[in-house]
Amino acid sequence: MSTIGTAWSLAKKVEALLELEDKHGKAIAGIQGQIENLVQRVIALEGREELLMERAKSAAGMGAMAAMAEISRRVGGLETRAEIAIETRPRKRLAKQLPDGKTPEGRTRGNK
């Protein structure tokens, strides 16, 4: 082989390298496009996550308010029942149960 053969072989190798470089450039461009698409999807998902967090907080707040309303309603009912029970008891029996010995009117037991 002469100089022409060596040059020809070298030219073929350079051509193969240029083809590989072109293939790799296209592959890298495709991968870069996929990465950009994934970044956009992550940004969209983060926005949805924030929205879901706000909705969850709102739902928890509404649940807590509903529970407090139910507790208030039940306590109010118990207070009403207790007041009715106190009003309907005989006075002497109630006076015996008060720790300071006073009637609901503020009189001491035995005094009128």
Share of the chain above pLDDT 90, in %: 62
Burial class (CB in 10 A: 0-12, 13-18, 19+), 67: exposed
Provide the pLDDT confidence category of residue 87 given band limits of 50, 70 and 90: confident
Mean pLDDT of the chain: 85
Please report, for the chain, the start and end positions of each structural domain, with discontinuous segments joined by +.
3-97
Structural contact between residues 49 and 43, judged by C-beta atoms closer than 8 angstroms: no
At 103 the three-state DSSP class reads: coil
Please report, for residues 50, 62, 67, 95, the alpha-carbon distance to residue 59 in angstroms, rounded to integers and kept in the order given: 14, 5, 12, 49
Q: Over 90: is that where the pLDDT of 49 sits?
A: yes
Structural contact between residues 109 and 95, judged by C-beta atoms closer than 8 angstroms: yes
